[in-house]
Amino acid sequence: MNNVHIKSPEEIQLMRNSGRLLASVFAVLDNFIKAGVTTMQVNDFVEDYIVNSLQSRPASKGQYGYQYTLNSSINEVVCHGVPSIGKKLKEGDIVNIDITLEKNGYIADSSKTYMIGNVSPIAKKLVDGSYQAMWQGIKSVKPGKTLGDIGHAIQTYAEKLGFSVVRDYCGHGIGREMHEEPQVLHVGKPNSGMVLKEGMTFTIEPMINQGTYKTKQKRDGWTVVTKDRKLSAQWEHTVLVTSSGVEVLTLRDEEK
């Protein structure tokens, strides 16, 4: 636990506020994202809303040399897809939009996979299944439980559906920094790993693949794709360990 920063009540309030603001970004994005829109238009729309409507900062921009406000990961892209003016969303695509927001020094991180128009039955099953897998992980959070319990809940659910869970990327502690301790794996054994304590804040963000869990990074140094080029879907929330369980800091209105 030595490197895990337990948040004070004041810090938790600031993180709640950042989470609420980030949830509102997705609320406006829901009406914007559709076939024919480029991923760069999505990026610019989100950046404008965060900066000008919310007086906040897109925390991903400039982090590790990344130039954009969000990641847009389409179809076989697992994560870290880079927005592009040449990349139009089209009917049948699934696209994960991963956004971070910082307000008053504290960061929230969340993502949502959108289905563009009518998608294939397997794409829908994967998107819905990855969403439920994330919630299985969230529901296993409470003081005294372990990080292994979270990973186990996600892995068990996804594999029952016939899908696989990406091993190469994971959730993370979050607060003043985008990436803090601990690392939150989305596979695991019950009762293993770090014990959860009240005041911990971290992300749960499983990447669930249609085929193999193996991934590879493209030559741009960012984009990660499935090794077999089959579909991948992801959802993410920032959560707080409370005295009795869990609070989802980035919960969206349609999830309440």
d(CA 201, CA 217) in angstroms, rounded, equals 28
Amino acid 203: pLDDT: 99
Amino acid 191: pLDDT: 98
Work out the pLDDT band at 180, boundaries 50, 70, 90: very high
Share of the chain above pLDDT 70, in %: 99
pTM for this entry: 0.98
Q: Quick: pLDDT tens for 64-94.
A: 999 999 999 999 999 999 999 999 999 999 9
Q: Quick: pLDDT tens for 205-216.
A: 999 999 999 999
Q: Is residue 54 over pLDDT 80?
A: yes
d(CA 51, CA 114) in angstroms, rounded, equals 23
Q: Quick: pLDDT tens for 222-251.
A: 999 999 999 999 999 999 999 999 999 999
Compute and round to an integer the Cα radius of gyration of the chain.
17
Contacts for 225 with CB less than 8 Å, ≥ 6 apart: 76, 77, 78, 215, 216, 217, 218, 232
Q: Quick: pLDDT tens for 90-119.
A: 999 999 999 999 999 999 999 999 999 999
Mean pLDDT across 120-133: 98
Give one word for 4, left, alpha or beta, with left for phi > 0 and alpha for psi -120 to 50.
Answer: beta
SS3 category, 78? strand
Give me 40's structure tokens. Answer: 């760069």
d(CA 161, CA 39) in angstroms, rounded, equals 30
- The per-residue pLDDT of the chain, averaged, comes to 98
d(CA 56, CA 103) in angstroms, rounded, equals 5
Amino acid 1: pLDDT: 63
Identify whether the C-beta of residue 92 lies closer than 8 Å to the C-beta of residue 116: yes
State the chain's maximal CA–CA distance in angstroms. 48
Share of the chain above pLDDT 90, in %: 99
Helix (H) or strand (E) holding 109: strand 106-115
Identify whether the C-beta of residue 230 lies closer than 8 Å to the C-beta of residue 241: no
Q: Is residue 43 over pLDDT 90?
A: yes
Q: Quick: pLDDT tens for 129-160.
A: 999 999 999 999 999 999 999 999 999 999 99
